[in-house]
Amino acid sequence: MSGIEILEIAHPARLLAFDAIIDVRSPGEFAQDHLPGAINLPVLSDSERAEVGTTYVQDSRFKARLMGAAYVSRNVARHLETVLLEKPGGFRPLIYCWRGGMRSNAMATILSQVGWRTTLLAGGYLTWRRHVTARLYDSELPLRLMLIDGYTGSGKTDVLQRLADRGVQTIDLEGLAVHRGSLFGGLADKPQPSQKMFESRLLSILDGLDPSRPVVVEAESSKVGERMVPPALWRLMTIAPRIELLASPELRARYLVTAYRDIVENRPALDEALRRLPTPPGRKRLEAWGQLADAGAFEELALALMELHYDPAYRRSSRTDGRPSLGLVKLSGLESNDLDAAADEIVRRIEAMSCA
């Protein structure tokens, strides 16, 4: 197409060459997944896209194209008068839609006529998705992983954040999945991203890592909430050496009440989570737990849950865990200074291993 360049491969390094990555798909499509750093300037809204599609199938292809052209023209004009209004003459956008068809071509044609050096992503979003799948499903990741392990409530996520603050390479799977990785791990008013979005975000993190340096990850199951850890990373996690944080049940119970304050303060959510335990509690046990919640005895409730569910599950998995151990880090408390000390100790061990 005259005046429009074509990008064949959606590799993250290639994407850095553009001033903006513009996803012209509908907001609903964009919310499911998109290229890293992309902005959404839809040429059809969700309702307009549905209307055009219905007309195409049930009425007339010509009428659908005419309707779509009118919508696209108005929407592109609005973007030119708002988001794109102050862009300079040297602006370099990359445009894509679902598969590099009519929507992205329409936007690219207009932007190139303005005088901007416009590029189309060949194959659209599907090109990016194939790249993600190849990297996370069909390839081997050249990374040296270390795991932070330990019983529920031992501060693993907080220690992982402190390691990142100290310059250690980390992957925060729970942060990427918007889930704390347990039965009570969902975050109020913060739904998990789609599996595809989770994978796109993860690949962006992986592409920023130095393969010559170790990478620390919190030990997780193969799913974080409803999001699956992609095979390429999960294979490494199943053989990675682990450092275990160790704290008393009482300390962990107190920590959990603070970490899960949103659940503690939402009684319907708490009751629903208790009913979903893999080991179904009987009616009397549920009533007893309800009485603890009514009395505000949440630390006692946390201890009961750890004893019934979390600790036995961790012990069972530990007995069959063939991953090498890098030893224990014992915590005498789970306050900020205790977690800082644990992170410092892990940094020392990482440095010692790197020098060995």
Query: What tens digit of pLDDT does each residue of 245-257 get?
Result: 999 999 999 999 9
Question: Whole-angstrom Cα distance, residue 221 to residue 238?
Answer: 10
Confidence (pLDDT) at 317? 82
Please give the helix or strand (H or E) that residue 304 lies within, else none.
Answer: helix 298-305
Contacts of 23-31 spanning 24+ positions with Cβ under 8 A:
23/96, 23/97, 23/125, 24/95, 24/96, 24/97, 24/103, 24/104, 24/106, 24/107, 25/97, 25/98, 25/103, 25/125, 29/98, 29/125, 31/194
Please give the helix or strand (H or E) that residue 56 lies within, else none.
Answer: helix 46-58
DSSP state of 310: I
Please give the helix or strand (H or E) that residue 121 lies within, else none.
Answer: strand 118-121
Q: Which residue(s) pair with 223 in the sheet?
A: 228
Question: Binning pLDDT at 50, 70 and 90, where does residue 122 land?
Answer: very high
Has residue 46 got a pLDDT over 70? yes
Is residue 355 annotated as a catalytic residue, yes or no? no
Confidence (pLDDT) at 27? 98
Confidence (pLDDT) at 355? 67
Which of 10, 44, 84, 97 is an active site residue? 97
Q: What's the mean pLDDT in 38-63?
A: 96
| ∠ CA 209-223-220, rounded to 5° | 60
CA distances from 257 to 200, 218, 263, 301 (A): 32, 20, 9, 9
Confidence (pLDDT) at 187? 63
Q: What is the pTM of this model?
A: 0.91
Question: Whole-angstrom Cα distance, residue 200 to residue 333?
Answer: 37
Q: What's the mean pLDDT in 13-27?
A: 95
Confidence (pLDDT) at 2? 57
Q: What's the mean pLDDT in 64-71?
A: 96
205: tokens are 């993190």
Confidence (pLDDT) at 188? 65
Has residue 170 got a pLDDT over 90? yes
Q: Are 154 and 243 in contact, with CB atoms under 8 Å apart?
A: no
Q: What integer best gives the mean pLDDT of the chain? A: 92
Question: Binning pLDDT at 50, 70 and 90, where does residue 318 land?
Answer: confident
Question: Whole-angstrom Cα distance, residue 56 to residue 107?
Answer: 21
> Which domains can be identified in the chain, with CATH numbers?
4-134 (3.40.250.10), 140-355 (3.40.50)
Has residue 29 got a pLDDT over 60? yes
Residue type, 137: Y
Least confident interval from 87-101, 153-167, 184-198: 184-198
Q: In 3-state terms, what secondary structure has residue 211?
A: coil
- Helix, strand, coil percentages (3-state) for the chain, rounded to 5, are 50, 15, 35
Has residue 133 got a pLDDT over 80? yes
Q: Considering only CA atoms, which of 176, 190, 158, 134 is closest in space to residue 12?
A: 134
Q: Are 39 and 21 in contact, with CB atoms under 8 Å apart?
A: yes
Question: Of all residues in the chain, what percent carry a pLDDT higher than 90?
Answer: 74
Has residue 150 got a pLDDT over 70? yes
| ∠ CA 31-170-129, rounded to 5° | 35
